[in-house]
């Protein structure tokens, strides 16, 4: 017998979607490879009721709560194949599993592509971030660096003075107009055009001319893309955005393929735990409606 719903991705959005369906007594299988996007961070902020908690602990608590529902199945595995259409999907996994389902929810999240800057990857999620709402408060109004990766970084540069004195490093990645520079200056941000050579210490920026500048935190806008190729396997329509590639989904979170839904970071922007959970809950309810009607 096919499952009512298979959720690919057991992160915050996927579990929130699954919860709504389990509470409707639907048979749900979650397939999860265990690679949360925020696995590099030791604290999660901005999620009501869990502000400041370890993100792995939040995920573990959520899973325990889902496991209290008897219609849940959970497989720790990686999806290697997906095909079919509404009421007749097939999902295969690396361990050889073959699972059928009436509805499919993709909640695999996204992967971040960081600029090739020595020292950045080691600090990602610890002293280098992408979201000021998630990490800005803890910098305690200390000096903030924004290292540009493209035009979207200008948005960060205009936002971050709210959290601390901001230096905007163009880093040969953005051509600021005179108007852009005036906007940054009006917000209190200082523009630095000398390229960044590397990061050191907790959040030290070493410039090509040898200067060292010390910051409380560094912000970088990564390019994102779906963390797995499941969307391509199903030939789903994707959108190219200034932030990266994402799966197109309508207001009910249904993709271009009937019966296949997408939620969380891989189908919306901006990204945060709170927004992923809300999007997942909405998606779960919409999938339930599709099963009823």
Q: In the structure, what pLDDT confidence band is assigned to residue 166 with cuts at 50, 70 and 90?
A: very high
C-alpha 156: how far from its chain's center? 17
| Res. 161: pLDDT tops 80 | yes
Burial of 63 (0-12, 13-18, 19+ CB in 10 A): middle
Whether residue 237 sits in one domain with residue 108: yes
- Using pLDDT thresholds of 50, 70 and 90, give the confidence band for residue 271: confident
Residues 183 and 259 in one domain: no
CATH of the domain at 273: 3.50.50.60
Shared-domain flag, residues 106 and 120: no
- Token pair recorded at residue 72: 């849940």
Q: Average per-residue pLDDT in the chain? A: 96
Q: What is the pLDDT of residues 90-114, one digit of tens each?
A: 999 999 999 999 999 999 999 999 9
pLDDT at 269: 85
Q: Looking at the predicted structure, is the pLDDT value of residue 181 above 90?
A: yes
**Are residue 227 and residue 107 in the same domain, yes or no?**
yes
What residues make up the domain containing 181?
Answer: 115-220
Number of domains in the chain: 2
Q: Are 197 and 207 in contact (CB under 8 A)?
A: yes
The pLDDT value recorded for residue 243 is 86
Tens of pLDDT along 202-253? 999 999 999 999 999 999 999 999 999 999 999 999 999 988 999 999 999 9
Q: Which of these three, 220, 254, 274, is where a domain ends?
A: 220
In this prediction the pTM is 0.93
Strands across the sheet containing 217-220: 128-129, 217-220, 144-147, 166-169, 190-192
- Closest by Cα among 228, 286, 241 to 260: 286
């Amino acid at each position: 017998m096919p499952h009512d719903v298979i959720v690919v991705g057991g992160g915050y959005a996927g579990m929130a979607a699954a919860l709504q369906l389990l509470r409707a007594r639907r048979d749900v299988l979650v397939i999860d490879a265990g690679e949360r996007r925020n696995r590099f961070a030791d604290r999660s902020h901005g999620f009501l009721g869990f502000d400041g908690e370890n993100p792995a602990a939040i995920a573990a608590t959520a899973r325990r709560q889902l496991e209290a529902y008897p219609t849940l199945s959970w497989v720790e595995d990686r999806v290697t194949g997906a095909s079919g259409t509404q009421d007749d999907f097939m999902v295969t996994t690396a361990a050889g599993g073959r699972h059928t389902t009436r509805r499919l929810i993709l909640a695999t999240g996204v992967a971040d592509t960081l600029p090739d800057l020595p020292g950045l990857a080691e600090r990602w999620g610890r002293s280098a971030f992408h979201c000021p709402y998630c990490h800005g408060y803890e910098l305690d109004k200390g000096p903030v660096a924004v290292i540009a990766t493209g035009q979207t970084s200008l948005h960060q540069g205009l936002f971050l003075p709210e959290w601390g004195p901001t230096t905007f490093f163009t880093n040969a990645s953005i051509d600021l107009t005179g108007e852009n520079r005036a906007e940054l200056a009006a917000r209190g941000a200082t523009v630095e055009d000398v390229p960044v050579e590397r990061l050191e210490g907790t959040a030290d920026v070493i410039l090509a001319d040898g200067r060292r500048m010390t910051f409380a935190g560094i912000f970088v806008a990564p390019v994102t893309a779906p963390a797995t190729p499941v969307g391509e396997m199903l030939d789903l329509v994707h959108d190219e955005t200034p932030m990266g590639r994402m799966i197109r989904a309508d207001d009910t979170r249904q993709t271009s393929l009937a019966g296949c839904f997408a939620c969380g970071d891989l189908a919306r922007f901006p990204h945060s735990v709170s927004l992923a959970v809300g999007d997942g809950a909405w998606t779960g309810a919409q999938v339930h409606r599709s099963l009823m009607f």
